[in-house]
Amino acid sequence: MIPYFLFLSPALILMVWAQWKIKTAYHRGLRIPARLSGAAAARYILDQASLHDVDVEESRGMMSDHYDPRDQVLRLSHDVYHQSTATSVGIAAHEAGHALQDAEGYAPLVVRNAAVGFAQVGAGLFSLLFLGGLVMFFVAPQLGIALLGLAIGAYALVTLFQVINLPVEIDASRRARRILNEYQIVDEEGAVVVDDVLNAAAWKYVAAAIHSILYLIYLVSIVLN
C-alpha cells in the first residue's frame, strides 16, 4: 500500500503553497490603501443591492471573516473591519458576495448550506467509526468491515461538502472583483492586489477539496486491502 504522506503529497504540497500565497498576498494588500474600510465597503455593497437588513459586525480572531445566512449577518475580523486597504475591501467584498448569493437563491450556495449539517455530522462520526472498525476487525471481522464502510460514508459527506463549496467560493470572488471595479473602491494597483488575495484564497479551497478526495480514495484502499 502506498504510504499516507506519499499518496496525499500533491494535496499537502498544494495546501502549503496556498497558505504561503494567502499570507504573502494578505500582507502585501495591507500596504495598498483603499477608498473605504472593509466595514464601509461591505455596507456600501449590501446597500447597493438593497440588502439593508443584512448587518455588518466585527468578529473576534484573525481571518474569522464570514457571512452567516441564518442570522443574516456579515462578520469581519478586526483588521478587515477597520482598515482601509486592498486586503480589507477584497475580503469584505468576497463575504458580501456570499450575501448576494443568498439573496438571489444562488443554487450552489443553497446546496452547500443544506450540506453543512451532514458534513459536520460526518466529520464528528468519522474518527469514532474508523477507529472502532479497525479494533472490531480483529474481534468480529464482519462488524469491523461494516463500521469501516460507515466511516468511509461519513467522510464522503465531508468530501462532498468540500467539492460543493468550490463553485460557491469562486463565484463570491468573481462578484467581489466586479463590484470593487464597478464601484471604484480600489484603483488599478489595488485591483491587482485584490486579485492576488482572492486567487490565493481560491487555491486554498481547491487544495482542501483535492485533499478530501485523495484521503477518501486512501480510506477505500485501506478497507479493500
CA angle 150, 156, 162 (to 5 degrees): 155
What would the grid cell of residue 102 be?
443568498
Dist CA 109 CA 105 (whole Å)? 7
Cell 497558505: give the residue. 19
Catalytic residues: 95
Alpha helix segments (H runs only) across 72-140: 78-82, 86-104, 107-137
The DSSP bridge partners found for residue 56 are 74
Q: What is the distance between the alpha carbons of residues 109 and 198, in angstroms, rounded to a whole number? A: 18
CA distance 145 to 125: 16
The two beta strands, 73-77 and 55-59, are parallel
Task: Please name the residues in contact with 107: beta carbons below 8 A apart, sequence gap of 6 or more.
Answer: none
Residue 76: phi, psi to the nearest 5?
A: -120, 140
In Å, how far from its chain's centre is CA 63? 11
